[in-house]
Amino acid sequence: MTLVDQFDPGDPRASSGGETRLYRCAHGPDVDYTAMARRARTLWRELEEESGEELLVECGLAWFAHREDGWEAESERTLAAHGIPAERLDVASAPSLYPSFRGEDLAFVLLEPEGGVIRAQRAVRALAAQAARHGARIVRSRARPDGTAAVLEDSTRLEGDLVVWACGPWLGRLFPDLVSLSVTRQELLFFDGGPAWRSPGLPGWCDYDHARYGTADIDALGVKAAIDDLGPPLDPDAELADEAPTEQQVRAYLHDRFPALEHARLIEARSCRYELTPDSHFIAAPHTEYPTVWLVGGGSGHGFKQGPPMAERLAQTFREGTPLPPRFALGERQPSTSMRTASSGPAT
Ligand SMILES: Cc1cc2nc3c(=O)[nH]c(=O)nc-3n(C[C@H](O)[C@H](O)[C@H](O)COP(=O)(O)OP(=O)(O)OC[C@H]3O[C@@H](n4cnc5c(N)ncnc54)[C@H](O)[C@@H]3O)c2cc1C
């Protein structure tokens, strides 16, 4: 097997290239993504065992529900049906989760105790190292498709039984007739919350209806808080400027939810790219002309955790012809009006 990438593993210009990504199984009523995310936990644990790296921080993931019977309640039912641990906390008991918390506007908090955070960059590096250990050849080059082949910058033509183009934000540019992706600039802010926010076991969090998410201070990066509204379009090759235009909006949310953080020092603002399909569902499908060429991606802000089970499903499809969900196919997609209404749930 040959793995080609224009960057080194974990490069911040790739969509996977952040230090942390949230890990959750809640997906509203969506059984397939829920089961896939649960399977991901086992597969990430396997990678941890093989690599000796601690990749999955099982600090829990808290959903701030604004309605008794909204997306979170649907998630609760789906999680229960799959035997995935989830606890409904009343608002009065939720402050025990964090050093500072305010929840008068909430109906309840849904806690996934086995949710949490994946050390994303480290995971990608561990994965590449394990692939090499198992015999994969890793080549650094920019590739372009030519029929069934991948052509590298030095004109080397790579052919194979299968060629998989899993190219994140660049996939649409490589296959403009087949793939429609919007690439947007998203911003992550890291605040100095002090030692209280570095205690282990503080859950990651998601406020789906208000499109906000974040984590406690993991690995001394600072408390992460971000807006999940879609940012401005950004070319896949454009510089990622580390600006903080969302700072006031994020601070306003911190004031309402985690008041002790409202004036916390901003340590860093970081940009990255979402690669979004019109309906926020993934892409995993053969090229329309070349059946041995596959296009995979469209992570749409929720793809990181699902990498290992997606690879597992693809391997089964390649070996045994197991069908993939039709919603991963190429072709027209019904646009969802926003990430809030997408059936895949929020980004993260
Ligand atoms: C700010 C932010 C927050 C997110 N939060 C979460 C979260 O909490 N939970 C979650 O599960 N997901 C989250 N996601 C989504 C998730 O990170 C992405 O969907 C996922 O990492 C995409 O992985 P990928 O391998 O498809 O793409 P990438 O990580 O972008 O990898 C594609 C690779 O292809 C290479 N490449 C592209 N074109 C070429 C070429 N022509 N030749 C050679 N190499 C090429 C690139 O260099 C890159 O390394 C988030 C994303 C962002 C940006």
* Average pLDDT of span 87-114: 98
Distance (angstroms) between ligand 1 centre and the Cα of 168 equals 5
Mean pLDDT of all residues in 78-87: 98
The candidate with the shortest Cα–Cα distance to 206, out of 340, 31, 44, 30, is 340
Whether pLDDT at 244 is above 90 = no
Band of the pLDDT at 341, cuts 50, 70, 90?
very low
Q: Which helix (H) or strand (E) holds 64?
A: strand 61-65
Q: What is the pTM of this model?
A: 0.96
Q: Which residues of 307-331 are buried (b: 16+ CB within 10 A; e: fewer)?
A: bbbbbebbeebeeeeeebeeebebe
What is the distance between the alpha carbons of residues 45 and 213, in angstroms, rounded to a whole number?
A: 24
Q: Which residues line ligand 1 (CB under 6 A)?
A: 4-7, 14-16, 18, 21-22, 142-143, 166-170, 174, 186, 188, 272-274, 297, 299, 301-305, 348
* Closest ligand 1 atom to 11 CA: 49
How many angstroms separate the alpha carbon of residue 69 from the centre of ligand 1? 33
Q: Which three-class secondary structure state does DSSP give residue 176?
A: coil
Protein residue with its CA nearest to atom 38 in ligand 1: 167
Burial class (CB in 10 A: 0-12, 13-18, 19+), 125: middle
Alpha helices in 258-337 (DSSP H): 307-320
CA distances to 143, 289, 301 from 152, in Å: 4, 21, 29
Which atom in ligand 1 lies closest to the alpha carbon of residue 14?
30
Q: Compute the distance from residue 156 Cα to the ligand 1 centre, in Å.
A: 25
Q: Which residues contact 64 (CB under 8 A, 6 or more apart)?
A: 103, 106, 109, 205, 206, 207, 208, 210, 257
User: Residue 265's beta-bridge partner residues?
Assistant: 192
What phi and psi, each to the nearest 5 degrees, are found at residue 151? -110, 125
Q: Report the atom number in ligand 1 closest to the C-alpha of 22.
A: 8
* Confidence bin at 243 (pLDDT 50/70/90): confident
Confidence band of 335 (pLDDT split at 50, 70, 90):
confident
Looking at residue 242, its pLDDT comes to 78
Mean pLDDT of 9-34: 97
Task: Compute CA 5 distance to the chain's CA centroid, rounded to the nearest angstrom.
Answer: 19
**pLDDT computed for residue 339 by the predictor:** 45
Of residues 152 and 347, more confidently modeled:
152
Asked if residues 177 and 308 have their Cβ atoms less than 8 Å apart, the reply is: no
Q: Which tens digit of pLDDT belongs to each residue from 22-40?
A: 999 999 999 999 999 999 9
Average pLDDT across the chain, whole number: 95
Contact between residue 262 and residue 184 where contact means Cβ atoms under 8 Å apart: no
SS3 state at 40: helix
Q: Tens of pLDDT along 112-142? A: 999 999 999 999 999 999 999 999 999 999 9
Distance CA 154, CA 172 (A): 23
Question: What integer pLDDT is reported at residue 348 of this predicted model?
Answer: 67
